[in-house]
Amino acid sequence: MSTEVTPVSFGARLARATGAHGTVCVGIDPHAWLLERWELPDTAEGLRRFGFGVVSAAAGRAAVVKPQVAFFERHGALGLAALEEVIAAARAEGLLVIADAKRGDVGSTVEAYGEAWLRDGSPLRSDALTVVAYQGVGSLAGPMDLAQRTGAGLFVLAATSNPESAVPQRALRADGRTVAAGVAAEVVAENAARFADEPLGSFGLVLGATVDLAAIGIDTASFGGAPILAPGFGHQGARLQDLRRLYGAASGQVLVSSSRELLSAGPDGLADAIARQTEEVAACLA
Ligand SMILES: O=C(O)c1cc(=O)[nH]c(=O)n1[C@@H]1O[C@H](COP(=O)(O)O)[C@@H](O)[C@H]1O
């Protein structure tokens, strides 16, 4: 008799956590200038203390944190060791962790990325991972299978918030769709097929709040239960008041990602800044 226990899916955990704490996703982006503002050194130890500061401010106030892996990689092995500790601390506090590592490769290799971030027992085990589908959504089958088995999630980049993304992402595929709309449709279909019984699925999309989704051929009304990770608010210019206009019927399943705007409140102001932004997002959705 198998003793394997089916884990609670990421989507179910996300729905529960956002229901309790709102839909703000607090970025952990230790830019050098932010470390200075937090009076921390630009070292692995500085990153560790910064990460712990964000975790303690977010615990009980937000559902999700999103460490930006690049800043930890700057410090090599010690930086990654700091990241391991920050991820573990966040999860121990009940926060969901989206590792923003933006991984992608041919299927046989991306599988190893999946194992690094989503396998039970891995030192960097997170609740979800950002991934890139430049090699085709099908190349992500390995991490998708693993995520489903371990109750983890994936956010696939579709329409990113940076202006340079227009050239590759608005390009037309052979089927007449833009690359961004094609990726979105494939991920939405995969999510619907694997998580049909769940109101919120575990495979979502990154859709920048600075992007005109209709102009790029993306209609969020067709998203079903696919969650959306939405960077671009605050420092990149998008405004919370536009949340409903930007994401329409899917606005309730949008994670409002905010890094520099929140983090610049400093270690003493961050908890209040998170609470304020959570209220503001809720008001925009009401
Ligand atoms: O995947 C992401 O989170 C992401 C996708 C995207 O299209 N744009 C984008 O800014 N991001 C990330 O979201 C964060 C945005 O930071 P702020 O602009 O400071 O809120 C950074 O960690 C980016 O790497």
In the chain, where the domains are located: 10-285
Give the other-Cβ count within 10 Å of 87's Cβ: 26
Give the other-Cβ count within 10 Å of 186's Cβ: 18
Locate the ligand 1 atom nearest the alpha carbon of residue 208 and give its number: 7
Name the residue with tokens 């085990």.
125
Say if the ipTM goes beyond 0.95. yes
Residue nearest to atom 16 of ligand 1 (CA): 259
Residue nearest to atom 24 of ligand 1 (CA): 68
Query: Under 8 Å CB-to-CB from 243, ≥6 apart: which residues?
Result: 209, 251, 254, 256, 281, 284, 285
Task: Round to whole Å and give the CA distance between 13 and 189.
Answer: 21
Q: Are 41 and 35 in contact (CB under 8 A)?
A: yes
Predicted confidence (pLDDT) per residue in 154-168, tens digit: 999 999 999 999 999
Task: Round to whole Å and give the CA distance between 207 and 209.
Answer: 6
Mean pLDDT score of the chain = 97
Burial of 150 by CB count in 10 Å (0-12 exposed, 13-18 middle, 19+ buried)? buried
Query: Under 8 Å CB-to-CB from 242, ≥6 apart: which residues?
Result: 209
The DSSP letter of residue 254 is E
Predicted confidence (pLDDT) per residue in 179-196, tens digit: 999 999 999 999 999 999
Catalytic residues: 102
Locate the ligand 1 atom nearest the alpha carbon of residue 229 and give its number: 3
Task: Round to whole Å and give the CA distance between 132 and 154.
Answer: 10
Locate the ligand 1 atom nearest the alpha carbon of residue 257 and give its number: 20
Locate the ligand 1 atom nearest the alpha carbon of residue 234 and give its number: 20
Task: Round to whole Å and give the CA distance between 20 and 27.
Answer: 19
Q: For position 183, what pLDDT does the model report?
A: 98
Give distance in angstroms: CA of 230 to centre of ligand 1.
Answer: 8
pTM above 0.80, yes or no: yes
Give distance in angstroms: CA of 2 to centre of ligand 1.
Answer: 42
Q: Give the binding-site residues of ligand 1, using a 6 Å CB cut-off.
A: 27, 29, 68, 100, 130, 160-161, 206, 208, 229, 231, 234-236, 257-261
Predicted confidence (pLDDT) per residue in 89-103, tens digit: 999 999 999 999 999
Residue nearest to atom 5 of ligand 1 (CA): 160
* Sign of the CA dihedral running 264, 270, 272, 278: positive
Q: For position 5, what pLDDT does the model report?
A: 78
Task: Round to whole Å and give the CA distance between 155 and 61.
Answer: 22
Test site for ligand 1: of 161, 255, 262, most ligand atoms within 8 A of the Cβ: 161
Cα distance between the two ends of the chain: 49
**Tens-binned pLDDT, residue by residue, of the chain (286 aa):** 556 678 999 999 999 999 999 999 999 999 999 999 999 999 999 999 999 999 999 999 999 999 999 999 999 999 999 999 999 999 999 999 999 999 999 999 999 999 999 999 999 999 999 999 999 999 999 999 999 999 999 999 999 999 999 999 999 999 999 999 999 999 999 999 999 999 999 999 999 999 999 999 999 999 999 999 999 999 999 999 999 999 999 999 999 999 999 999 999 999 999 999 999 999 999 9
Predicted confidence (pLDDT) per residue in 124-144, tens digit: 999 999 999 999 999 999 999
**Superfamily assignment of 10-285 in CATH?**
Aldolase class I (3.20.20.70)
Indicate the length of the chain as a whole number.
286
Burial of 59 by CB count in 10 Å (0-12 exposed, 13-18 middle, 19+ buried)? middle
Quick one: tokens of 2? 């198998």
